[in-house]
Structure 1
Amino acid sequence: MEQRGGTEHLTVQREGATLVLTLNRPEAKNALSLPMLVGLYDGWLEADEDDAIRSIVLTGAGGSFCAGMDLKALAGKGMEGEQYRDRMKADPDLHWKAMLRHHRPRKPVITAVEGHCVAGGTEILQGTDIRVAGESATFGLFEVKRGLFPIGGSTVRLQRQIPRTHALEMLLTGRPYSASEAQGIGLIGHVVPDGTALEKALAIAEQINACGPLAVEAVKASVYETAEMTETEGLAAELKRGWPVFDTADAKEGARAFAEKRAPVYRRA
């Protein structure tokens, strides 16, 4: 992969048309830090602004995804990366955008989870689109066990993504969930052998990258914007999103390539 900037706790790389963001603080199980949050937000913006990027893969270094908030920092012992304080002052919402609470990338986000994906890790997960986990991965919202509130969006999003009874159990017990249990309740889509989650996520990204980018982005936008609409409202909104796609050069190229039995060459036009 080609290295593309980032911060000391967030690695940015390119794998073809996929932007790979890696939470890189393995000594702390990738607990959230200022450098990580700033790097994440900058990564989402890069993907939004660069048309050559067609998908994003989010993963963690050192066999963990993310152990959530840095509790030592919360206890008053300081958080690393004080040099990024000016970024937080300039945009007080930056941490929520980084955690996908107040920002949704227009490109599909595939998560590759190994090891711990708990507390803030599970909250970030809910802002992503497609989710892959190694079979030994652990999920859960542990905040109530520490007398805290999962304020990254989980009391709103989780019940919309999995059955409410499972959402409430996860939120109110603060217990860990195995990868197989997380898949069983619909929190993740794929369970793969340990150490292969990134490989599987990149394979899914490649399938997405082969599709028409304008169509992919319109489909993602339609799914989210119609989620809370009535069926009648949603179907009307879908037409507004969908019909313009048929008028694009990419749509014509897709049909032509099918007829000519070749791979399409999409140009975002």
Structure 2
Amino acid sequence: MGGTEHLTVARTGATLVLTLNRPEAKNALSSAMLVGLYDGWVAADEDDGIRSIVLTGAGGTFCAGMDLKALAGDGMAGEQYRDRLRADPELHWKAMLRHHRPRKPVIAAVEGHCVAGGTEILQGTDIRVAGEGATFGLFEVRRGLFPLGGSTVRLARQIPHTHALEMLLTGRPYTAEEAARIGLIGQVVPDGSALDKALEIAELINGCGPLAVEAVKASVYATAGMTEADGLKDELARGWPLFATADAKEGARAFAEKRPPVFRRA
């Protein structure tokens, strides 16, 4: 199903699972990983049979950020990826969910390190689950760098202002419990079970009407920067047409007949 040597792709029912697969380097981002990630987001959006996406990491860790040496490529083996990155200068930002938002819900299943670029990618996901031993943080300022993955814009919109600034300006690590307390992640589960919990959430999403799920996600993000009046107007324009769909009628019939609905994206 595609993928690269640093990004594996698997299908579980209606869920596409993307796995950062470079555990010997704590899944630090490489050219192969970024190209695989972007192709995975696109594949999920183009396949109407896929209703949700789970992003996780191999080897008990999520992502330790950018690997500048790996991004430079590894001889001829990395040439195909460098060619892709040169052909689309935005590709790495799209892969990291900075310049691309999949229309399907994205659930992060985090174990171990989720720091620097890992925490930045995390902010592009919709629902987040972490093992209790996971570690988060934006370490860039400790190295005299800037977190260009979107954190200075997104973080304060996702968690309280004071917590966002503390994370950005101190560069200190955060435990899973603390990340949950400030709202960066939604659930903390026993180590090793984050993927199972993410797939459980994905299955709940998969049982819902796909047109409704995608419209709801789009509405949340589209209206985030609007006034309440403009947001409500936009919501009505997006949501009202759904009531005339075959899926909406099927949902009502299934409820009346006490059976699971069979949605057809119509």
Shorter chain as normaliser: what TM range? over 0.9
Q: Per the alignment, in what secondary structure is the counterpart of residue 3 of structure 2?
A: strand
**Structure 1 equivalent of residue 227 of structure 2:** 230
Contact in 2 for aligned 1:34/1:82 (Cα 8 Å): no
Return the match for 1:175 from 172, 175, 178: 172
**Structure 2 equivalent of residue 60 of structure 1:** 57
Distance in 2 (alpha carbons) for counterparts of 1:250 and 1:151: 41
**Structure 2 equivalent of residue 138 of structure 1:** 135
**Structure 2 equivalent of residue 249 of structure 1:** 246
Contact in 2 for aligned 1:70/1:79 (Cα 8 Å): no
Distance in 1 (alpha carbons) for counterparts of 2:83 and 2:70: 18
* Offset of residue 90 of structure 1: 1.2
Contact in 1 for aligned 2:31/2:70 (Cα 8 Å): no
* Offset of residue 62 of structure 1: 0.3
Q: How does 1:155-234 map to 2 (within 5 A)?
A: 155-234=152-231
**Structure 2 equivalent of residue 23 of structure 1:** 20
2:264 matches 1:267: yes
- AA of the residue aligned to 1:177: Y
* Offset of residue 268 of structure 1: 0.2
Distance in 1 (alpha carbons) for counterparts of 2:101 and 2:2: 21
Structure 1 runs (4+) deviating above 6 angstroms are none
Q: Per the alignment, in what secondary structure is the counterpart of residue 131 of structure 1?
A: strand
Number of corresponding residues: 263
- AA of the residue aligned to 1:103: H
Contact in 1 for aligned 2:115/2:135 (Cα 8 Å): yes
- AA of the residue aligned to 1:231: E
2:40 matches 1:43: yes
Contact in 1 for aligned 2:73/2:82 (Cα 8 Å): no
Contact in 2 for aligned 1:13/1:21 (Cα 8 Å): yes
- AA of the residue aligned to 1:201: A
Q: How does 1:98-177 map to 2 (within 5 A)?
A: 98-177=95-174
* Offset of residue 89 of structure 1: 1.4
Q: Per the alignment, in what secondary structure is the counterpart of residue 163 of structure 2?
A: helix
Q: How does 1:73-84 map to 2 (within 5 A)?
A: 73=70, 78-80=72-74, 81-84=78-81
- AA of the residue aligned to 2:143: R
* Offset of residue 82 of structure 1: 3.1
Calculate the TM-score normalised by the size of structure 1.
0.96
Once the two structures are superposed, what CA deviation does each residue of 1:81-118 show, in whole Å capped at 9, x if it has no partner?
23311111111100000000000000000000000000
Unmatched 5+ stretches in structure 2: none
Q: CA RMSD of the aligned region, Å?
A: 0.9
Distance in 1 (alpha carbons) for counterparts of 2:230 and 2:85: 38
Once the two structures are superposed, what CA deviation does each residue of 1:3-31 show, in whole Å capped at 9, x if it has no partner?
x2200000000000000000000000000
- AA of the residue aligned to 1:36: M
* Offset of residue 72 of structure 1: 4.3
Contact in 2 for aligned 1:132/1:188 (Cα 8 Å): yes
Calculate the TM-score normalised by the size of structure 2.
0.97
* Offset of residue 79 of structure 1: 3.6
Q: Structure 2 vs 1, CA of residues 174 and 27 (structure 1 numbering), >3 Å: closer, same or farther?
A: same
* Offset of residue 73 of structure 1: 4.9
Return the match for 1:11 from 8, 12, 31: 8
Once the two structures are superposed, what CA deviation does each residue of 1:138-186 show, in whole Å capped at 9, x if it has no partner?
0000000111100000000000000110000000000000000000000
